Amino acid sequence: MFTIDIVLQDMPLPISVQRKEAEPAESLYQEILQAMRSGSSDLVELTCDKDEQKKVAVKGNLICAVSVNKKSGGMAEGRVPGFFAAIAEQ
């Protein structure tokens, strides 16, 4: 399972969605990067593979950061503490 975390301006907690496979996770990551680069206020609609009823839409120009992490069992692998704290300090 892969978790995609998105940090929005003026929002202290990230929005997270999951993908079961690496390729869809990478595709969503690239879609979010494109929205960030464009600076447009177009909506980015997100769904979650883990909880199929979970849906969220965010404006692309409000996204500050995105992170993809591979999750194994109950613990996230390779997740670096302080990712979001570093964003808040900038």
Distance from C-alpha of 19 to C-alpha of 49, rounded to nearest angstrom: 5
Q: Give the pair of three-digit tokens for residue 79.
A: 């997740």
Which of the four pLDDT bands, split at 50, 70 and 90, describes residue 73?
Answer: low
Burial class for 81, CB neighbours closer than 10 Å (0-12, 13-18, 19+): exposed
Structure confidence at residue 66 as a pLDDT band (50, 70, 90): very high
Residue-level pLDDT at 71? 78
Q: What is the mean pLDDT of residues 40-58?
A: 90
Residue of 83 and 15 predicted with greater confidence: 15
User: The whole model's pTM is what?
Assistant: 0.74
pLDDT, mean of residues 38-58: 90
Within 10 angstroms of residue 9's Cβ, the number of other Cβ atoms is: 9
Could you tell me if 46 and 58 are in contact, meaning their C-beta atoms sit under 8 angstroms apart? yes
Question: Is pLDDT above 70 for 74?
Answer: no
Answer yes or no: is pLDDT of 65 > 70. yes
Structure tokens at 52: 């199929």
Phi-psi group of 52: left, alpha or beta (phi > 0 → left; psi -120 to 50 → alpha; rest → beta): alpha
